[in-house]
Structure 1
Amino acid sequence: MFNKILILDAETRWSKKAVDWAPDTYTLSNMTTEEYIRSSLFKAFGFGFKYYGEEGAPIYITHPFLKKFFGSIDWTTTAVVAHNAQFDIAILTWIYGIKPAFIFDTLSMARALYGIDVGNSAKKLAERFNLPPKGFATQSSDGLYELTAEVEKELADYCKHDVFLCEKFLDNMLPQFPKKELKLIDATIRMFTEPQLALDKDLLQTAISDDESLRASLLGKLNVKEEELASNDKFAAVLSAIGIDPPTKISPTTGKEAYAFAKNDALFQQILNGDNEEAVLLCEARMKVKSTQERTRAQRFLDIAGRADGLLPVPVNYAHTRTLRWGAAKGSNINMQNLKRGGKLRKSIIAPPGYKCVAGDLSQIEPRVLAHLADFTELLEIFKSGEDVYSLFGRIMFGMPTLNKEENPELRQSSKSAMLGCGFRLGWASFASQLLVGFLGAPPVRYDRAFMKQLGISGQTVVEFMTGYPHEGRRGAAAGAERLERMMEIPPHVHRQGTAGSLRLRQGNHRPLPTRV
């Protein structure tokens, strides 16, 4: 596949201050990697290089000689290494048209080996491996359109030291890193540097137009101005004018009363899911005015398509989280992992000719892994049998021996969210609030008069229960648990654990779930 490994590091033009050639600044601090490299302002001042394992010091090649140097290399047999390879290899591919045989990324490797909490920058890794510290010479090139001879020499020394450090990083990590994981890192970087997905510009433009039309339609139907919905005080006045008391809460930050207009606020959801159609429309319009995510994302996709010949570089990081899953690259401004199902943004992504885009999912993967880590043998046996574990959990949760996915899809969905939440330390107060929104596709729970009558409780009890915990601390949690027990009769197969009154399922003899996995 490859017979040599080239370590490299790029030094590029940048300015964190406003200058004549970059009045709005030009830095990765306020631009995405894709936007920065594809900018007309971009220039690689030079690259540092060293072949891995060979004797001698790193070399530095300046801008005028880079193409000749790159042309002397057989890239079909040469792998590359960089720290934060997404940046350096994107330059290599987009600016110089080079596709190396294999890509190593010491930043991705460090995240997987040492976790995300300890820091894995070149500076941190140099400290961790007892290496000479990373320098600070790039400060001198800030704002320079072209380099002076003095600055260029300083930058070259800085860059060569970074290459030296990167080789030592690889020395320390490569022996303990699985080969199959290295292949995943290579594939992840190439998803960004060698994009295969295209974007449907017409559909993206339609998404923007539809969002604007819906916003205008809601405002016209309600005969209100956008600022009346965007301002908390003005929106409160609009609600009061139709006989709705504006919901309030105690701010956990200030400890003072504030309007409860956030989409996840329980009392706001109560209005949104209520019977007053005008109030419902006002709340929907408020959320549409306050939320610009869909329109902003569509515009970002359009901008990317315009810069990248209609293609979509996918900016995700390997081992981005504590659980080592992928995550949106820092500063990428698009998250490819949470595009709305069925939405125009998702549909705007086009597979290359001869391929199709499919959504892959592993059946019940989270509780399967959790049951294995917790040595919950009874649950593992249920998975082996092929039974629907969410329905079985729902039968206990709702006291319905015949609950199943076909006849009780909504209850089964709620039991799924409960099971997943319990497995990952979801508190009872947060779970109760999520029921109002409709967690994981479950329908919202309407705390209206009929529902309260069914439970045999007063509206005030619901308000106290739903809003008491966040600002009352541990005492509030205990009080909330007592209110919860007054609201429902705890079945015999469930017992209390802890002062917060969390509920835990008795399911045979097994090792209890750990507090951390």
Structure 2
Amino acid sequence: TWTDILKQIGWPIETLVIDFETYFDVDYSLSKMSTVEYIADEKFEFTGLGFEILNHPKANGPVFIPGPDVPWAVKRLQKLLGKAFHNCTVVAKNCKFDILILLEKFGIHPPFIIDIEDLSRFYDARMSHKLKDLAPMFNLEAKGDTKQFKGQHWEDVDHQAMKEYNLGDIRNETALLQILLPIISNPEIEIPLARHTLGMYLDPHFRLDYDLATKLIQEMGRELSKSIMQTGHTAEEISGTLNFTELLINALPK
């Protein structure tokens, strides 16, 4: 089971599935800007929070929190699961959004994180990983339409519609965790590796040396030119797929 996998890799079986809802409009949206820009923008506003706690004495099914109460709810979760949510495994669909919100808005950087998208990519890397496509594939409830909330602040939103939409996502994400985590073939390696990769996004510690990169590009270009000259052909002759295939066939022993 999915709980057995968490035990196997030494992660907490107490689990928090979390999903933030936020304001967006025609110009201010993740389709028009990066996640980092979106979260840092002055327009950022919570319109809701859904979560479900699993394998815990306080587990009581999916819960929805209204937008204005999100900071209060996060503090309550910290009291229950640790200041950095370090006493549980945190699960989200697209952690680059939800976990970055935890980090940037609340200073919470959980040590144990699983992204549903990492699990679905293991299932089939080439398929769509959108929740609206995963839900019917695994016989889950249909995902609601987020477009109904475009341009609506918490005061404008149909609160019941937002609650139903959010809790539907939470139920589906919990189900996907339970379905997909057990199929990971080498969880002791793959789950921590996925967490490490996410960590490089959430808290990057490397710098780019643009001068050195430019120098390397130039040196590689010169070496490539030398190698091409030795073939007796031009770069244009070799660059085409069909031309290269023909040249390679002619160069090989008959």
TM more than 0.5? yes
Q: Call closer, same or farther: CA 1:67–1:118 in 2, change over 3 Å.
A: same
Residues of 1 paired with 2:238 and 2:204: CA distance?
47
Unpaired stretches in structure 1, ≥5 consecutive residues: 17-24, 200-335, 347-409, 414-436, 471-476, 496-517
Tell whether the 8 Å contact from 2:48 to 2:65 is kept in structure 1 after alignment: yes
Tell whether the 8 Å contact from 1:141 to 1:147 is kept in structure 2 after alignment: no
Tell whether the 8 Å contact from 1:48 to 1:159 is kept in structure 2 after alignment: yes
Residue 161 of structure 2: aligned partner: 154
Q: 1:94 aligns with which of 97, 100, 104?
A: 104
Following TM superposition, by how much is the alpha carbon of 1:169 offset from its aligned partner in structure 2, in angstroms?
0.5
Q: 1:466 aligned to 2:240?
A: no
Residue 27 of structure 1: aligned partner: 29
Residue 61 of structure 2: aligned partner: 57
Q: Call closer, same or farther: CA 1:466–1:156 in 2, change over 3 Å.
A: same
Residues of 1 paired with 2:117 and 2:168: CA distance?
17
Residue 127 of structure 1: aligned partner: 136
Residues of 1 paired with 2:92 and 2:228: CA distance?
53
Following TM superposition, by how much is the alpha carbon of 1:174 offset from its aligned partner in structure 2, in angstroms?
1.2
Residues of 2 paired with 1:444 and 1:101: CA distance?
49
Residue 166 of structure 1: aligned partner: 173
Q: 1:494 aligned to 2:247?
A: no
Q: 1:186 aligned to 2:188?
A: no
Following TM superposition, by how much is the alpha carbon of 1:129 offset from its aligned partner in structure 2, in angstroms?
0.9
Deviations 1:400-433 (A, max 9, x none): xxxxxxxxxx9xx9xxxxxxxxxxxxxxxxxxxx
Residue 44 of structure 1: aligned partner: 46
- Please show how residues 58-457 of structure 1 align to structure 2 within 5 Å: 58-72=62-76, 73=78, 74=82, 75-115=85-125, 117-136=126-145, 138-148=146-156, 151-177=158-184, 178-197=187-206, 342-343=212-213, 441-444=223-226
Residues of 1 paired with 2:177 and 2:167: CA distance?
16
Give the secondary structure class of the aligned counterpart of 2:212: coil
Residues of 2 paired with 1:12 and 1:151: CA distance?
14
Question: Which runs of at least 4 in structure 1 moved beyond 6 Å after TM superposition?
Answer: 467-470
Residues of 1 paired with 2:117 and 2:155: CA distance?
28
Following TM superposition, by how much is the alpha carbon of 1:343 offset from its aligned partner in structure 2, in angstroms?
3.0
Q: Call closer, same or farther: CA 1:38–1:468 in 2, change over 3 Å.
A: closer
Q: Call closer, same or farther: CA 1:444–1:341 in 2, change over 3 Å.
A: farther
Tell whether the 8 Å contact from 1:78 to 1:102 is kept in structure 2 after alignment: yes
Following TM superposition, by how much is the alpha carbon of 1:190 offset from its aligned partner in structure 2, in angstroms?
2.1
Residue 261 of structure 1: aligned partner: none
Deviations 1:459-515 (A, max 9, x none): xxx79x929967xxxxxx59x94xx59xx9x67x723xxxxxxxxxxxxxxxxxxxx
Unpaired stretches in structure 2, ≥5 consecutive residues: 1-10
Residues of 2 paired with 1:14 and 1:191: CA distance?
27
Residues of 2 paired with 1:41 and 1:13: CA distance?
8
**Structure with greater proportional helix content:** 2
Q: Call closer, same or farther: CA 1:341–1:168 in 2, change over 3 Å.
A: farther
Following TM superposition, by how much is the alpha carbon of 1:43 offset from its aligned partner in structure 2, in angstroms?
1.2
Q: TM-score, normalised by structure 2?
A: 0.76
Tell whether the 8 Å contact from 2:20 to 2:50 is kept in structure 1 after alignment: yes
Tell whether the 8 Å contact from 2:96 to 2:198 is kept in structure 1 after alignment: yes
Residues of 2 paired with 1:196 and 1:467: CA distance?
39
Give the secondary structure class of the aligned counterpart of 1:134: coil
Q: 1:8 aligned to 2:18?
A: yes
Residue 4 of structure 2: aligned partner: none
Residues of 1 paired with 2:166 and 2:150: CA distance?
15
Residues of 2 paired with 1:125 and 1:185: CA distance?
20
Residues of 2 paired with 1:70 and 1:468: CA distance?
56
Deviations 1:47-99 (A, max 9, x none): 10101357643111123322222222222212210011111000011011112
Aligned residue identity for 1:125: L
Q: With CA pairs under 8 Å and 6+ residues apart, which has the higher RCO, 1 or 2?
A: 2
C-alpha root-mean-square deviation of aligned residues, in Å? Answer: 3.6
Aligned residue identity for 1:44: F
Residues of 2 paired with 1:97 and 1:62: CA distance?
21
Following TM superposition, by how much is the alpha carbon of 1:37 offset from its aligned partner in structure 2, in angstroms?
0.5
Deviations 1:285-325 (A, max 9, x none): xxxxxxxxxxxxxxxxxxxxxxxxxxxxxxxxxxxxxxxxx
Give the secondary structure class of the aligned counterpart of 2:18: strand
Identity %: 25
Tell whether the 8 Å contact from 1:3 to 1:77 is kept in structure 2 after alignment: no
Residues of 1 paired with 2:182 and 2:94: CA distance?
19
Residues of 1 paired with 2:196 and 2:213: CA distance?
27
Residue 6 of structure 2: aligned partner: none
Give the secondary structure class of the aligned counterpart of 1:143: coil
Give the secondary structure class of the aligned counterpart of 2:33: coil
Following TM superposition, by how much is the alpha carbon of 1:32 offset from its aligned partner in structure 2, in angstroms?
0.6
Following TM superposition, by how much is the alpha carbon of 1:444 offset from its aligned partner in structure 2, in angstroms?
4.7
Residues of 2 paired with 1:444 and 1:153: CA distance?
68
Q: Higher Cα Rg: structure 1 or 2?
A: 1
Residues of 1 paired with 2:112 and 2:178: CA distance?
17
